[in-house]
Amino acid sequence: MGRAGAATRRRLALGTAVLSAAALLAVAAPQDAQAATGCAGRKVRTLHFATGSVLVHKRGGYVCAVTVPKKTGKKQQMSVGVRARGGRAVVDSGRFAHHAGPVTVHAGKRCVWVTGKVSKSSVSSGWILC
């Protein structure tokens, strides 16, 4: 009975370790997604274009966007912009290797217009999230 009891304890310890690791991953996953984009909240849109994508997140009355190129690592001209209806656009533009942004505006319940550009290709959303 001594060996059987030890084997049972090892299996229980392994099961506990696996469950603990799974719980930690579940808690860390939303933060990792935020770290990747720099935006808080849930992703509500992805605007694809030839050379990249604009990821749009929303949390409360705030809208955040990041432009991500298809090919990262080499600095290239990029931009991202968000404008709430009736307000001014918030823009991040320059030569970046991994992403432009994040940029955030308080939209409340107003529509927003999102733009993104990588090299010579771009996207413009029109009024969304109304």
Residue 120 CA to residue 55 CA, distance in Å, equals 18
Name the pairing type of β-strands 112-118 and 121-128.
antiparallel
Q: What is the pLDDT tens value at each position of the chain, 130 positions in all?
A: 566 666 655 555 544 444 444 443 333 334 334 445 799 999 999 999 999 999 999 999 999 999 999 999 999 999 999 999 999 999 999 999 999 999 999 999 999 999 999 999 999 999 999 9
Supply 9's token pair.
Answer: 């304890």
State CA 40 to chain mean position distance: 8
Residue 82 CA to residue 63 CA, distance in Å, equals 8
Supply 100's token pair.
Answer: 């432009």
